[in-house]
Structure 1
Amino acid sequence: MKAKLVFNDLSITPAKTESEARKWFTEMITAVADLIKNGICTTEINSNINLDDFLLTDDYGFIEWKNDDKVNRDTRLLALRLLTRKPVQASLQALEDDFARSEFKLKEYPNIESTALGVALLHDGIVVSLPSKRLWCQSHIEIIQRLYNENLENPEETFFRVRQVSRPNHVDIVIRDWRRSLSQHIKSASELVMQWTSAFPNLDMCEEYEQKMLPHLHGTTLKSVLDKLWKLDETCELWKKTKEQEPTYYSMSANPESPGTMNIKELAEMRLSSCPYQGLQHFKMHCRIQATNAIKLRGQP
Structure 2
Amino acid sequence: MSGLLALLDDVAGIAKVAAASVDDVVGQAVKASSKAAGAVIDDAAVTPKYVHGFSADREIPIVWKIAKGSLFNKLVILLPLALILQAFAPWAIPPLLMLGGAYLCFEGAEKVWHVVNPADHHAEDVYKEKLKDAHLEEAKVKGAIKTDFILSAEIMTITLSALPEDLPFWMNAGALGVAGVLITVAVYGAVGLIVKADDAGLHMCANGRLRMTRWLGQAIVKGMPTFMKLLVIVGTAAMIWVGGSIIVHGLHEMGVHGPYDFIHDISVSVAGAVSQNLAGAVEWIVTAGLDGVVGLALGFVLIPVSHYVLTPVMGLFRSEKAAQGEH
The structure whose residues are more often strand, as a share, is: 1
Same fold judged by TM-score > 0.5?
no
The structure whose residues are more often helix, as a share, is: 2
Q: TM-score when scaled to structure 1?
A: 0.24
Larger RCO (CA under 8 A, 6+ residues apart): 2
